Structure 1
């Protein structure tokens, strides 16, 4: 019997919420067109919002030392319907390289992509290699053939024999590697640097991405995993073994790679106390077992300095068996349902809130501005109607109203010219911002840093140069923030003056939002500091250290710069969008109103006809405002409300 809200059900509801939001944005666009409120800039803004929703993904990282049951838990949560383990998690078979599980929604194909371990010797980051198909070995998967798929996916556990010197060149700590039983002077290293598994699965199709990580040795030897991929995961499930507790190596992973102030993990960090079935004691009864599990849970929470409710006791093995056998009682004892509920309630809900915090808030603000414009238009129509009803054929009153309308039209025409001039000024301000932060300047910093690193002869010199790289970047960012604040101050003054002159409006500017990029850069600097201080880094040969620094730290810094540049190029076009849109709407409204009034002063018959048209226009306006209010409610509706409504309908 299924749970009230399973993980798959909640992910499906989250997907439907995004899909419904896309549908509502599309309807909003049509509504803007009907009401002649859609400009090219607004259309681009809405299209970007839709793209963000379509491309949105939630990444959950499964992290822990070897043999903690990470892959077994993934099998239990996502692949139990296959009736066997789809990913290798039997004794002696373990994931040897970082593995991403997702569904490729662009190609809609199933495959295994393997990146050879030898690519570590290349001067290319993992992110760069993602765009080089020829660097990967690709094997097609047939999800209908479970045996064949499982056999193919077992390749992520492959190892290869290399000399100790070569293992060191590839970034491994040879002291933590197993010797080759057939050749004692050689060691075994993972055959693959990274694996990407695209498999059609309902949860993965909806944008969930799973990151399965190897143990401590692999974490420390793949800096890009710990500098970029792991910190950017929205949530982390940290696997522990109930029979071992929190070991020294577990604590190292937690402190160095998870519980760091610079990680994203905005949806949460949770500890999963796996293998609780070893504590099941049929002789002493279930109450005794529950008490023992609770003691370990409380102890684990104290050791990791997290809340006890963030420690989830489970048995991935028994959970998998329960699902394969459809044994509801065993599934209950395995704790799998509680873990699913945690992912659903805490992780997915938080992810939805992150989207609502920016995208939904911006859309709601735009809709309210549009409604305000329609309310103004409705008031003007009502004023026309009053003039017609009160004065009937008093052409003098109509002429006065027409003259006032003409003056207002001239005012908004001049205001539009002024705002367009201001926008050109904003575009030039954007060019000033781009002079401070641009990729050419960034490449110059990189070249200077590389030159200094290659000429450094001491560890202190290398550290100072790496620190210096971030100092110049932060100096650029501080200059950018200063210039950005100056630009925002200018925009705020334009809005303040506009709101004062056009009473009754409270339009707000589009913020530049540069602070988030500076925070990301400072977080990266913190991760770079840990990279520098890591004993493994200190033991690296200089050439290898420089290589790792550029393929991980510098590559991530470039990504931050690219995101910053996107905002710098976009903002000058959007900063004045609300006032430009409002002014254009007012100008169009007044132009139509003046045309009607002028016709009415010339022809008595036109008065009667216009009276009829005004009544129809007012009714249409009321209808459009009701549609807008309904759209606003639907856009702000959370997933939980959607799911409750669906359950009530069943």
Structure 2
């Protein structure tokens, strides 16, 4: 039975990306065969290919405990095993964040668990992810669902510890359940983080699932709420139809999902789970649908979101319908609507992102190449037409050589000037990099850590936290000022260059750090909230310092590093369009001069010489056709864009 449109759309998305990778490799070969390749172009194209290969789509499932997050993940992705693979029973089953993906690098199936005791170390989750020796790894046998389920049950394992030990590990007592067998102890998760690598068609295609714990555990792992959930491409927020929007649901929604620093470029969606509690055979289907719509509207109003972004469904009935091969129950569960939403809304956003960030840039490079070849073909055709009237003579061949040489000298001089401009840009780039250097940040971070340890009061520690983010903000202001000067320099270079009418289509790449700067400034607001949180004010000094550096400073480092990377790549890439255009013009003209001189030395008759000129034109035209073919394939609409066009055309025809 069909598992809905999601798997088909992800497969189509994956095929589209693979086609783009092939076309970029084809473009590389084309540039090399035409002697138009350069180190700058190679770097740019390789980055594009890497981006496509490593592209992932992260869906974060968030909600209070017992809302059915894990049950929904089981229904969406693991029904083919014929049972619940991820722990999904009544109560608090998911107490540690769990990532489900496929490790394409190792190509293996495993469960990797990070002990909760690592919270005592001064390492972030991102840092610990690079230290495999800290993790407990269990191989998963995909051929034995029963054995695999037994291993995956480990994710829900807990420890019973004293309140003092729980506090040392970063938990707040008020957020934990007491051990029913020993009231002096509390229940904490045995694991801090779980990673499940499984060979699944959707996961192989780059889909990554983040299953989060409820409110009781969310606040105790700040890195999850400061970095992992906000950076997810989309959030699926789970609610229960039998409870509606509770106070703790609203807390999660406001504090961890609809925050200013959250990206969620593909959207936030609410799933109103357990609608089967509203099914009523006595009242009839119309009554049931009215009840569901009422709860759906109520939920949308409370969350302040469009009613179409609230999806009522039953994860339990969907899983049963899939496992037992009952298509009627599967349809009634309304899971197909969620699959359709993920494919149509979330994948469409990823398609647009790739188109904006990569394809438009590559198409610009291709258009440069095509414009140059078209100009060469036209110039040779004009000369051939002239020879048809006047005949081929040594004088005419000499004129053609001189004209081509003159064009070559023009671009050769332009290239020398541009290389000089690039050296200026490199110097400007070093100024930008020094403003946000890793060494400069780490020196300040260490100073902040030392000052906080020496501080005897919470006020003193709070002041040092604020100073660190003020320091970063000051550097970003200076970076912004210097970047504006650099961009003016680039615009001036382009303005001088584009006096050549053939190059007026060229535009510089902007300095793109605004998004990261906004993220750091939103993080500064979070740092302010962190400092004012009464729970943190009452926290023991060593634990407070650790929590601050593990989460807020750790995330600041990641964003800061993205800004630094832009200051490293931008000075070269800003001039890449005109560098590429000029280099291609120079190399094509150089190649043409060699061919014309060889033709001039040839003592064959005029007809043979004309034939050789035609051969040159035909060769250029063939290369132009290849470039046009590459462009057509790259311009081919992404799967969902293509579907939308088909739907529009069909509607128009009707």
Q: Kindly provide the CA deviation profile for residues 458-487 of structure 1, in whole angstroms up to 9, marking residues without a partner as x.
A: 444333322221111121112112112211
**Cα separation, 1, equivalents of 2:148 and 2:597:** 76
TM-score scaled by length of structure 1 = 0.96
User: Counterpart of 1:182?
Assistant: 181
Deviates more, 1:134-143 or 1:615-624: 615-624
User: Counterpart of 1:70?
Assistant: 69
Please tell me whether the aligned partners of residues 600 and 607 of structure 1 are also in contact (alpha carbons under 8 angstroms).
no
Alignment of 1:207-606 (within 5 A): 207-501=206-500, 503=502, 505-598=504-597, 605=604
1:34 to partner: Cα distance: 2.6
1:92 to partner: Cα distance: 4.2
Alignment of 1:67-106 (within 5 A): 67-92=66-91, 94-106=93-105
Q: Kindly provide the CA deviation profile for residues 314-336 of structure 1, in whole angstroms up to 9, marking residues without a partner as x.
A: 10000000001111111111110
**Cα separation, 1, equivalents of 2:643 and 2:297:** 33
Please tell me whether the aligned partners of residues 17 and 642 of structure 1 are also in contact (alpha carbons under 8 angstroms).
no
1:446 to partner: Cα distance: 0.2
Q: 1:172 to 1:599 in 2, by over 3 A?
A: closer
**Cα separation, 1, equivalents of 2:503 and 2:516:** 35
User: Counterpart of 2:652?
Assistant: none
1:39 to partner: Cα distance: 1.4
**Cα separation, 1, equivalents of 2:629 and 2:596:** 33
RMSD: 2.0
**Cα separation, 2, equivalents of 1:174 and 1:130:** 28
Please tell me whether the aligned partners of residues 110 and 140 of structure 2 are also in contact (alpha carbons under 8 angstroms).
yes
Please tell me whether the aligned partners of residues 392 and 610 of structure 2 are also in contact (alpha carbons under 8 angstroms).
no
**Cα separation, 1, equivalents of 2:23 and 2:554:** 37
User: Counterpart of 1:43?
Assistant: 42
1:111 to partner: Cα distance: 0.7
Structure 2 unaligned residues grouped into runs of 5+: 648-654
User: Counterpart of 1:615?
Assistant: 614
TM-score scaled by length of structure 2 = 0.95
1:402 to partner: Cα distance: 2.7
**Cα separation, 1, equivalents of 2:75 and 2:563:** 40
Q: 1:164 to 1:501 in 2, by over 3 A?
A: same
1:84 to partner: Cα distance: 0.5
User: Counterpart of 1:11?
Assistant: 10
Q: Kindly provide the CA deviation profile for residues 592-649 of structure 1, in whole angstroms up to 9, marking residues without a partner as x.
A: 44344455556552643332122123233333323323322321321225679999xx
Structure 1 unaligned residues grouped into runs of 5+: none
**Cα separation, 2, equivalents of 1:352 and 1:530:** 36
**Cα separation, 2, equivalents of 1:598 and 1:186:** 91
**Cα separation, 2, equivalents of 1:641 and 1:539:** 53
Deviates more, 1:496-505 or 1:220-229: 496-505
Q: Kindly provide the CA deviation profile for residues 72-115 of structure 1, in whole angstroms up to 9, marking residues without a partner as x.
A: 00000001111100011022461110000001000011111111
Deviates more, 1:365-374 or 1:607-616: 607-616
**Cα separation, 2, equivalents of 1:624 and 1:360:** 21
**Cα separation, 2, equivalents of 1:109 and 1:313:** 36
1:263 to partner: Cα distance: 0.1
Q: Kindly provide the CA deviation profile for residues 267-311 of structure 1, in whole angstroms up to 9, marking residues without a partner as x.
A: 000000000000000001111001000000000000000000000
Deviates more, 1:623-632 or 1:590-599: 590-599
Q: Kindly provide the CA deviation profile for residues 541-568 of structure 1, in whole angstroms up to 9, marking residues without a partner as x.
A: 1211110111111111111122222222
Q: Kindly provide the CA deviation profile for residues 7-60 of structure 1, in whole angstroms up to 9, marking residues without a partner as x.
A: 111111111111111111111112222332221221121111111111111110
Q: Kindly provide the CA deviation profile for residues 109-167 of structure 1, in whole angstroms up to 9, marking residues without a partner as x.
A: 11111111111111111111111111111111101110111111111111101111111
Please tell me whether the aligned partners of residues 113 and 138 of structure 1 are also in contact (alpha carbons under 8 angstroms).
yes
**Cα separation, 2, equivalents of 1:272 and 1:596:** 68
Q: 1:137 to 1:598 in 2, by over 3 A?
A: closer
**Cα separation, 2, equivalents of 1:589 and 1:389:** 24
Give the SS at the match of 1:232. coil
**Cα separation, 2, equivalents of 1:162 and 1:504:** 70
Q: Kindly provide the CA deviation profile for residues 181-211 of structure 1, in whole angstroms up to 9, marking residues without a partner as x.
A: 3322111111111111111111111100000
**Cα separation, 2, equivalents of 1:266 and 1:23:** 27
1:410 to partner: Cα distance: 1.9
Please tell me whether the aligned partners of residues 392 and 609 of structure 2 are also in contact (alpha carbons under 8 angstroms).
no
**Cα separation, 1, equivalents of 2:623 and 2:91:** 66
Deviates more, 1:412-421 or 1:600-609: 600-609
> How many correspondences in the alignment?
646
Deviates more, 1:413-422 or 1:547-556: 413-422
Please tell me whether the aligned partners of residues 114 and 194 of structure 2 are also in contact (alpha carbons under 8 angstroms).
yes
Please tell me whether the aligned partners of residues 13 and 642 of structure 1 are also in contact (alpha carbons under 8 angstroms).
no
Q: 1:608 to 1:85 in 2, by over 3 A?
A: same
Give the SS at the match of 1:142. coil
